[in-house]
Structure 1
Amino acid sequence: MKEACERYGLRRSMGETGICWNNAGAESLWSTFEHEYYYRHTFAYRTELVAAVDNWMNFYNTRRRHSTIGMLSPHSYE
């Protein structure tokens, strides 16, 4: 994969295999979702879970306060 990207002049979004911080942002996001929402709810159908993820992501990305931006929501920060 690395060689193919280099051949076509593409910049990869990940580093070498085994570097722990490649997925740190994604892992943090899903861990937060699991602890703040998933473990506190029961889903009878897959469609309920998909809708829950969509709703939570909308909340997380627009209204939830984030410590990295001074405990403001992204809307307030912008």
Structure 2
Amino acid sequence: FTGVLRREGIAISMDGRGAWRDNVVVERLWRSVKYEEVYLHAYACVSEARSSIGRYLGFYNARRPHSSPGGRTPDQTYFDNLPQAVAA
């Protein structure tokens, strides 16, 4: 696995233990999941929690505006920045 990383010129950031910059996006995501979904529902079973959280993540990515990318959704930010395909 590390040979592939080296061959492709990929560097892994290892700033040190507890570096907040490495996890800030994931921590913000899970904070939103907890406060906007999990804490508001009493799931009866794991499968119910899984499907409900899955629906929330779809909402989070496709319809929920976010303040940091200028009120855009993560999907809009991601797909608008993909390189355009060249027509043959």
More helix by share: 1
Name the residue aligned to 2:16.
Answer: 17
Task: Structure 2 unaligned segments of length 5 or more: list them.
Answer: 81-88
- Deviations 1:14-62, CA, capped at 9 Å, x for gaps: 4233122211111110011101111011001000111011101100000
Task: Structure 1 unaligned segments of length 5 or more: list them.
Answer: none
Name the residue aligned to 1:61.
Answer: 61
In 2, Cα distance between equivalents of 1:57 and 1:29: 9
Matched, 1:52 2:52: yes
Q: TM-score, normalised by structure 2?
A: 0.68
The runs of 4+ residues in structure 1 deviating greater than 6 Å are none
Residues 21, 74 of structure 1: alpha-carbon distance in 2 compared, 3 angstrom cutoff:
closer
> Aligned residues: percent identity?
25
Name the residue aligned to 2:32.
Answer: 32
Q: TM-score, normalised by structure 1?
A: 0.75
Q: Secondary structure at the match of 1:59?
A: helix
Q: CA deviation at 1:11?
A: 2.5
Which amino acid in 1 is paired with 2:44?
A: A
